[in-house]
């Protein structure tokens, strides 16, 4: 898999609603509260907020360790990671090879997306009773 391609910078005025800082928190999907296991409830209660910043030039920063480009596709916001821990996938693989190990986090370079919702952005349904809801940071 090749590193993500750079996307053209979007027109900032079309992203005025989405651009900004968000704080993600796991929570039960609506109507799925009873489906949560005791472990899921405990994990969610202890979870720290997940920072996400969408910049007007089409870049994003997630969790302080992942960055790349984002694009508003109407029904979803897609993310194309470019760097993990400050390095591209090729740089990560090279650094691991120099140490004689394999880069085991290649999946972080997979494209991912969030869905717009009334409260901000949320992870898409995946069969789990848990979603991560990214609300605008205050």
Answer yes or no: is pLDDT of 116 > 60: yes
Q: Which helix (H) or strand (E) holds 52?
A: strand 50-54
Q: Flag whether 5 is in a domain.
A: no
State pLDDT tens for residues 81-91: 999 999 999 99
Q: What is the CATH number of the domain that holds 43?
A: 2.40.128
Q: Could you tell me which of 108, 71, 80 has the C-alpha nearest to residue 4?
A: 80
Please count the structural domains in the chain. Answer: 1
Q: Flag whether 90 is in a domain.
A: yes
The reported pLDDT for the residue numbered 2 is 33
Q: Flag whether 1 is in a domain.
A: no
State pLDDT tens for residues 63-80: 989 999 999 998 899 999
Q: Flag whether 41 is in a domain.
A: yes
pTM: 0.80
Q: Flag whether 82 is in a domain.
A: yes
The pLDDT-based confidence of 17 (bands split at 50, 70, 90) is: low
**Domain span at residue 25?**
12-136
């Amino acid at each position: 898999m090749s590193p993500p391609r750079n996307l053209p910078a979007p027109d900032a005025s079309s992203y005025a609603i989405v651009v900004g800082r968000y704080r993600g928190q796991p929570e039960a999907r609506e109507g799925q509260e009873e489906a949560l296991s005791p472990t899921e409830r405990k994990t969610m209660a202890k979870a720290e907020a997940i920072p996400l910043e969408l910049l007007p030039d089409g870049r994003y920063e997630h969790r302080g360790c992942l960055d790349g480009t984002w694009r508003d596709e109407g029904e979803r916001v897609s993310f194309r990671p470019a760097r993990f821990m400050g390095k591209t996938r090729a740089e990560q693989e090279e650094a691991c090879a120099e140490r004689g190990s394999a880069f085991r986090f290649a999946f972080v370079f997979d494209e991912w997306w969030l869905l717009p919702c009334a409260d901000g952005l949320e992870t898409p349904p995946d069969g789990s009773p848990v979603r991560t809801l990214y609300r605008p940071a205050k």
